[in-house]
Chains A and B, each alone.
Chain A
Amino acid sequence: MGMRELPSIGRRRGSIVGAVVLAVAVGVVLRSVMGGPLSGIVSKGALSSTLRLSVPIAFAALGGIFAEKSGVINIGLEGHLIISAFVAIYAVNTTGSVWIGFVAGVLASTLLAGVFAVVCLEFRADQIIAGLAVWLVALGLAPFLSTVIYGSVNASSSMSFERITIPVLSEIPVLGALFDASPPVYLLFLAVGGSWYVLNRTAFGRWVQASGENPQALDTAGVSVRRVRYASVLLSGVLAGIGGASFAIDLSQFSGNGQTMIEGRGFIAIVAYLLGNYNPIGAFFSTTLFAGLQTLQIQLQSGFLPSSLVQTIPYLTVIVVLALVGRTRTPDAAGDHYESGEE
């Protein structure tokens, strides 16, 4: 969609090269480490785990797409994940309802996105700095609140989502995992398709793109750039919030040690949507690549390579793939402030 011809050719070539190198690397690692059959890797359990690990990253990536396509780079996705994870656990514990907890987590993230939007759009703050501030605020605030409320940076709840198992379909080997999952996974499928539809088939989607490419064109066409950007940033908060809340409720806990349980997934989300060239479906598949590697990594930890080394595999792969894939077409006006009536 709307990609220029040259970069898209370059991208396609880069993707192919990247995929081949990746496949070779994974193969080599597997053969040397395991030596045995790969039965444990391609299984229903592995796919199921990949999907679960995809949820926070993919939702955050979808949110990032909306914000950045509208011209506001939301680098604070990590912060949205952290704050929604904590608030969700807290609300689950206080209300005793998984779904109220989920909504509370989403609201917290949306509120944070609202502050970010005001700072960027009204006070013309630098988007990167404001985004980093969002992350740092959440990184400090969530463990702090946890300590105040629970006496520890870690908090747990006794409830989680009920799995939804679709009869018959869930019996399919491997792919059955798609039909035997917790609600956030189904929600993710809906969100990926829905985001693609909104961006490419609705008027709002066109406005988001125009706002990020040439805000003046949108402005002179009689659509408020400010409103479109507010809507997009808030939407990014909602989506990232769904990711964070789902992740925490799914694990029935919030842990606030170090980088918290989110562990950089918000930043990986940015990589995912850049790899997917701002296409929700592309971003989803980039996410599953990373999540799949994480699943693999967890399984490899039982091997004889040092586990801390194994843990770096997903991150190293992302760096390699990013370098190989090369150019993504960033919206022309991303990161720029726009004021109506200015030349």
Chain B
Amino acid sequence: MTSAVHLDGITKRFPGVVANDDVDLTVERGTVHALLGENGAGKTTLMNVLYGLYEPTAGQIVVDGTERSFDAPQDAIDAGIGMIHQHFMLVDPMTVAENVTLGTEPRKWGGLAIDRDQAHRDVERLCDRFGLDVDPGAPVAELSVGVQQRTEILKALYRGTEILILDEPTAVLTPQEVEELLSVFEMLTDQEKTIIFITHKLGEAMRAADEITVLRDGQTVGTVDAGEITREELAEMMVGREVLLEIESSPADPGSVVLSVDDLTVADDRGVDAVSDVSFSVRGGEVFGIAGVDGNGQSELIEAITGLRRPHGAIELDDREITDNSRRDRIEHGMAYIPEDRHERGVVMEFDLVENGLLGSQHAEPFAGNGRIDWARAREHTEAIIEEYDVQPPNPDAEAASLSGGNQQKFIVGREFAREPNLVVATHPTRGVDIGSTEFIHEQLLELRNAGVAVLLVSSKLEEVRGLSDRLAVMYEGEFVDTVDPETVTEEELGLLMAGERPAQGDEHR
């Protein structure tokens, strides 16, 4: 039997970068194949080559035993390849059926009108055949992310896709939605469809895939059977060295309350309440985690605490009300902040590392005092951060923009921790960061905690919030659904909480 896809010696060069270097990939028909690797390993580039978005510099693409060359996505679509991007390609105000049939609408009256009934029936039939639960008449804007993703899958199937590529499909899903997606995978492969999905999550690749191909630095490390490999082995393939996967955390020894938040209500940019009446406190020497699907008010809550957004309610830092105080006041009183969007708020991309290292301290001793900045000291400070946090390249004059995302993040973490804070507000501290750096950032956070610092952690990575937190709140639609012990809570319970299902009355975790 011929393979569904065979990529042979694919090389893709961009000016100054080799994104794929002689990569091989073979995917059998009717299987789920995971393309696993860290950010920047070349996974997406490879799939864009297969989908006709990029022309390979060298190499062969064989689909169903026939050699192909794709000039545009349309050629790949014609060859039965469909791709679902991380950002969905859906038109919000249109219905599911309209989106699915966009560009190939069934017509009536000699093409003068869309046959909407036919479109509806076609979509319903597809749903039945592949066990997808989607209402063809619903406007996409009203659907949950999981259903929108299924709409994308329907779109691909409607166009006769045999080989479906998904780019990081679980990044935006709740655990329950991930389960549903995996069962959709099963239905699809039962009917001889082939699935390739890109991921950097080990656990997911092992659960969902039949075979896993690991990429590192643009090269194929190898292809393994998902059933015959351990997480540790897989992690080592990804990173190229042994990695400590489990977050090893000793029991917390909480001290006095450092941050206390009382009845906080925060409006979002549209003036709608994104956070309603949230109260909690974080003690020194503990990590308080907030889990939840992105967009449930976490960002607004953190912005209020860090002084970037005006809330109603009260925020106290070390028994001193700071609700309406400035950012500077907060920084001076020991609040460190790792922002969720490092480009927007963490670094100035056009500044070099010395300047970036100064951000937040530019007004204060020892870098400034009498109206001018002591650049020699600033440079020493940056060099120390680079050294301690292993920032690559180790060049204080490098522009922030020239660093990889992981290294920018390490630099931000280093700068913030160097403030000797008594409260660290860390939002998605390892988003887009490779496994090696993630491990390092986790260690640093725990070290601070052990030294008596209060840590407020927001992350959409379940493993991360569960592994690091001593107490874990789950946020849904602007409220804390419950606060649980991360040691004892199961992933399923967490998933239900993240979907807004409230625990039974008299729950013991409280």
Please list the residues of chain A having a beta carbon within 8 angstroms of any beta carbon in chain B.
1-5, 201-203, 206-207, 209-210, 213-214, 216-218, 220-223, 329, 332, 341
Q: In the complex, are the beta carbons of B94 and A210 less than 8 A apart?
A: yes
Report whether A214 and B107 are in contact in the complex, using a CB–CB cutoff of 8 Å: no
Determine if B244 is an interface residue (Cβ-Cβ < 8 Å).
Answer: no
Asked, given contacts A5-B142, A203-B105, whether A217 binds B89 with beta carbons under 8 Å apart, the answer is yes
B92, CB-defined interface residue at 8 Å: yes
Q: Judging by beta carbons under 8 Å apart, are B93 and A2 in contact?
A: yes
Contact B89 A3 (CB under 8 A): no
Report Cα–Cα, A16/B93, bound state, in Å: 24
Contact of B104 with A222 in the complex, beta carbons under 8 Å: yes
Q: 1/0 contact trace for B294-305 toward A, CB 8 Å?
A: 000000000000
Residues B139 and A2 in contact, CB atoms below 8 Å apart: yes
Q: A210 — which chain B residues lie within 8 A by C-beta?
A: 91, 94, 102
The CA of A3 and the CA of B113, in the complex, are separated in Å by 21
CB–CB B103/A207 < 8 A = yes
Distance in Å from the Cβ of A208 to the closest Cβ of chain B?
11
- Contact at A3–B93, with CB atoms within 8 Å? yes
Q: Tell yes or no: B73 within 8 A of A by CB.
A: yes
Tell me the bound Cα distance from A206 to B53 in angstroms. Answer: 25
| CB proximity of A198 to chain B, nearest CB, Å | 10
**Cα separation A2 to B139 with both chains bound (whole Å):** 7
- B224 on the A face (CB < 8 A): no
Partner of B103, one of A1, A5, A209, A223: A223
Please give, as numbers and ranges, the residues of chain B lying within 8 Å of A1 by CB-CB distance. 93
Closest to B142 in A: A5
Given A2-B94, A5-B142, A222-B103, CB of A206 within 8 Å of CB of B89: no
Proximity bits, B100-139, A CB within 8 Å = 1, else 0: 0011110100011110000000000000000000000001
Tell me which residues across on chain B come within 8 A of A206, comparing CB atoms: 94, 98, 102, 105, 114
Report whether A209 and B53 are in contact in the complex, using a CB–CB cutoff of 8 Å.
no
B114 touches A220 (CB 8 A): no
CB distance from A313 to the nearest CB of B (A): 33
B114 pairs with A209, CB closer than 8 A = no
Q: Which 5 A-B pairs have the closest CB atoms?
A: A221-B103, A2-B93, A217-B89, A203-B105, A221-B102
CA distance A214 to B111 in the complex (A): 24
Write the nearest CB–CB distance from B139 to chain A, whole angstroms: 6
Number of B interface residues, CB 8 Å?
26
Contact A202 B139 (CB under 8 A): no
User: In the complex, which residues of chain A have a beta carbon less than 8 angstroms from the beta carbon of B95?
Assistant: 2
What separation, in Å, do the CA atoms of A213 and B91 have in the docked complex? 6
Q: Are B99 and A217 in contact (CB under 8 A)?
A: yes
Would you call B113 and A201 a contact (CB within 8 A)? yes
Contacts of B229 in A (CB 8 A): none
Q: Is the CB of A203 within 8 A of B94?
A: no
Given A203-B107, A222-B74, A223-B103: A214 in contact with B141 (beta carbons within 8 A): no
CB-nearest residue of chain B relative to A341?
B53
Chain A hits for B107, CB < 8 A? 203
Task: Give A180 Cβ to nearest chain B Cβ, in Å.
Answer: 31
Given contacts A222-B77, A222-B104, 16 further A-B contacts (CB under 8 A): A2-B95, A4-B139, A202-B114, A206-B102, A206-B114, A209-B91, A210-B102, A213-B94, A217-B91, A218-B103, A221-B89, A222-B73, A222-B103, A223-B103, A329-B93, A332-B92
13 A-B contacts, Cβ less than 8 Å apart?
Answer: A2-B93, A4-B141, A202-B113, A206-B98, A206-B114, A209-B94, A220-B89, A221-B89, A221-B155, A222-B77, A222-B103, A223-B103, A332-B92
In the complex, A18→B112 CA distance in Å?
Answer: 38
The residue of chain B having its C-beta at the shortest distance from the C-beta of A200 within the complex is B114
B126 to chain A, nearest CB (A): 16
Of B74, B89, B93, B112, which is within 8 A of A202 by CB? B112
Q: In the assembled complex, which residues on chain B have CB atoms less than 8 Å from the CB atom of A209? A: 91, 93-94
Question: How many Å lie between the Cα of A210 and that of B155 in the bound state?
Answer: 15
- Tell whether A218 pairs with B102 under 8 Å between CB atoms, given A5-B142, A202-B112, A203-B107: yes
- The answer, yes or no, to whether B90 is at the interface (CB within 8 Å) is yes
A141 → chain B closest CB, angstroms? 38
Assembly CA distance A216 to B74 (angstroms): 13
Known interface pairs A220-B73, A341-B53; A213-B92 also in contact (CB < 8 Å): yes
Cα separation A100 to B16 with both chains bound (whole Å): 61
Q: How far is the CA of A2 from the CA of B99 in the complex (A)?
A: 12
CA distance A329 to B141 in the complex (A): 13
- Assess whether A203 is in contact with B114, with CB atoms less than 8 Å apart: yes
User: Cβ of A218: which chain B residues have Cβ within 8 Å of it?
Assistant: 91, 102-103
Residue contact A217 to B104, C-beta cutoff 8 Å: no
A2 to B90 alpha-carbon distance, docked (Å): 13
A-chain residues with CB within 8 Å of residue B102 when the two chains form the complex: 206-207, 210, 217-218, 221, 223
Chain B residues whose CB sits within 8 angstroms of the CB of A2 once the complex forms: 93-95, 139
Task: Name the B residues within 8 Å of A216 (CB-CB).
Answer: 89
Give B401 Cβ to nearest chain A Cβ, in Å: 16
- Within the complex, the shortest CB–CB distance from A316 to chain B, in Å, comes to 28
Interface centre among B53, B74, B89, B91 (most CB of A within 10 A): B91
B93 CB contacts on chain A under 8 angstroms: 1-4, 209, 213, 329
Q: Flag if A214 contacts B112 (CB, 8 Å).
A: no
Minimum distance in angstroms from B157 CB to a CB of chain A: 14
**Chain A residues closer than 8 Å to B155, beta-carbon distance:** 221
Contact with A along B353-391 (1 / 0, CB 8 A): 000000000000000000000000000000000000000
| CB neighbours of B111 from chain A (8 A) | 203
